[in-house]
Structure formats: C-alpha cells, structure tokens
A = this chain, B = another copy of it.
Amino acid sequence: MESIQNFDDIVSRQCSVTNRKRVAVVCPADSHTEYVVGRCLKEGIADFLLVCAGECKPEFERLRSMYEGHVEVYLEPTPDDAAYKAVDLVREGQAAVLMKGTLNTDNLLRAILNKEHGLLEPGRVLSHITIAQIPSYRKLIVFSDAAVVPRPTLDQFDAILRYTVSASRHMGVSRPNVALINCTEKVNEKFPHTICYEELKKRAEAGEYGDVCLGGPMDVKTACDADSGSIKGITSPVVGNADVLIFPNIESGNVFYKTITLFAKAETAGILCGTTVPVVVASRADSCESKYYSLALACTGILG
C-alpha cells in the first residue's frame, strides 16, 4: 500500500476507488455541508442519502435530478427523527458512512448510542480521532481524543491507542511512533493518566499493539521537535518524530485541535470511531475543507 503523506493523497486514493460509498447525511441544510455534498458528487467520490428535517431545500431536489442514481432524499419531521432515520439506513446496509449536518452533536449521539437500534456494539469504546496536516510539521499526525472521551480510563486509552495506531498504519506508517502527552516527563500518581501510560507501555512491549513504539509521558514540543528532546536528554525514538499523539484529557486534545487550526493553519479531518461505520461529526467552526477531508477520510476506510 502506498503511504499517505498529505490530504491530497487521501482524496486521490478515494477518487481511484470504483465502488463508491453511500453516505447518510443528517440535516444537510447548511452551507458547509452543501459544499461537501456538491463537491463529492462532482468528483464522483461518494453517493448520498440526504435525510432532511422539516422541509427539503430545492437545492437537494436539483442535486437528485442532476446526479440521478447518486442522490436520494428523505424527509423527516424533526432533527431527532432524521438522526434515527439515518442510523436505520446504516443498520439496513443502505449507507456505509454517517455524516452530521446542522443538528446538535448530542442529538446525533443519542441515536448512535441507542442500545437496541444504535451503531455501537456492546463493549466498544466510542472515541474521536483527528488526522492533521500542519504546514510546519513534515508529516501527517494522528491524535485523540479532542471531542468525545473526557478523562480516558485505562480501557479507553487502550481503545484510543488501537484506533490511532490502526489509522497511522493504514496511512502507510509501518511502525508508528506514539507520544503519550503530559506537561512533564514525570510519572506521578497525582496524574492518573501517567500511571495508565506506564501500563500501555508495558502492553506495547508485550506486543499487544503489534509493531509500534510508545514514548512518554512527554510534552507536545518534545514529541514533535528533536531539539527540545535533546535539550532534555530524552532519547526515545518517538522524540521529535511522533506519528500519533495521545492526549490525557479532552481539554488538552481540544486545545491542540483548535490551536493548530487557528494559529498554525492546519487542515484537519476528524471522525468518530468505535461505531459500526465511520461517523463524520466535524465542528460547526471547522472549515469547508476540513469537512470535505473528513468525509473523504471516512470513505477510504483508513479508520475502518
């Protein structure tokens, strides 16, 4: 498999796929979502089931006749009904990807997490992973969790590690370097995540995660800048060369996400994992590009 160096590679890979995926979009009536749907149809990288709430915008009827056979439109009374309908379409095998439009993330999550009719198998951990293209870093970086798990337990860290490492491998990194993020290098029981990190490192050494290198606790600069590591005398192969960042809590993951997009002009693609199909739940303030890349990513199966 060819390695993926940047977001254009993700899109190229998806464009080369002959069997397009069908995407169920819940409440697609906002300008960003319309942009993504229109662009993906034009490029032929996905088909769409548009599940509207309240009314169907004329734009969607136009798309249906313009791209006959590639667009279907469903009408539901409320956003909650639309969410449940879209989840049903996935469960029936009609759609292979789910995408959030204008409704509140919590409302979509309620339908996804429904015990009898939802998309999470018992025992699976729901998490969010992001792939970022930061102009001042030489490769794509995968990180988690910026959006779903507030304070990961050991089991949740374990699942998050498996999801992110799998994504990195799917992008062509044979031995991902994983940085376990903290504000210092110290392991301290007052910071329970550092104790979890020690256990994750033991499991990695025992081969539980396959060919992978875990380092940390370390800070973001040590993880992504070799000079910072050498000043501190840290010699892990992860230092300055991280492929994956695991954050200790949702606030620090979210601060990383927002800071790289705002101040370092990063593009991101983010997705829910742990569900039976990938779910795109881009933030309202994400760029159109970011939402487009997220959908392309979901369709590649990189996170499958």
Contacts and interface: CB of A to CB of B under 8 A. Distances in A.
Contacts of A254: 183, 219-220, 252
Stoichiometry, as copies per complex, reads: 2
Given A150-B190, A250-B183, A258 B219 contact: yes
Contacts of A260: 259, 263-264
Contacts of A258: 219-221
A255 to B, nearest CB: 4
Interface in A244-281: 247-256, 258-266
Interface stretch (A33-41, A66-74, A166-174, A224-232): A224-232
Contact of A255 (B136, B150, B256): B256
Given A150-B191, A183-B146, A231-B285, A225 B262 contact: yes
A164 interface: no
A248 B249 CA distance: 11
A147 interface: yes
Nearest to A265: B136
Contacts of A264: 136, 259-260, 263-264
A105 to B, nearest CB: 9
A231 B284 contact: yes
A118 to B, nearest CB: 22
B181 A251 contact: yes
A182 B251 contact: yes
Contacts of A250: 183
Interface string A171-193: 00000000001110000001100
A125 interface: no
B252 A285 contact: no
Interface string A129-159: 0000010110000000011001000000000
B262 A224 contact: yes
Contacts of A190: 150
A126 to B, nearest CB: 16
25 contacts: A134-B263, A146-B183, A183-B254, A219-B254, A219-B255, A219-B258, A220-B259, A221-B258, A222-B285, A225-B285, A227-B285, A228-B285, A231-B285, A232-B284, A247-B255, A249-B249, A251-B252, A252-B252, A252-B254, A255-B255, A255-B259, A259-B264, A263-B263, A263-B266, A264-B264
Interface of A: 134, 136-137, 146-147, 150, 181-183, 190-191, 219-222, 224-225, 227-228, 231-232, 247-256, 258-266, 284-285
Given A221-B258, A249-B251, A252-B252, 16 more contacts: A134-B263, A136-B263, A150-B190, A181-B251, A220-B255, A220-B258, A220-B262, A221-B285, A222-B285, A231-B285, A232-B285, A248-B251, A252-B254, A255-B256, A259-B263, A263-B263
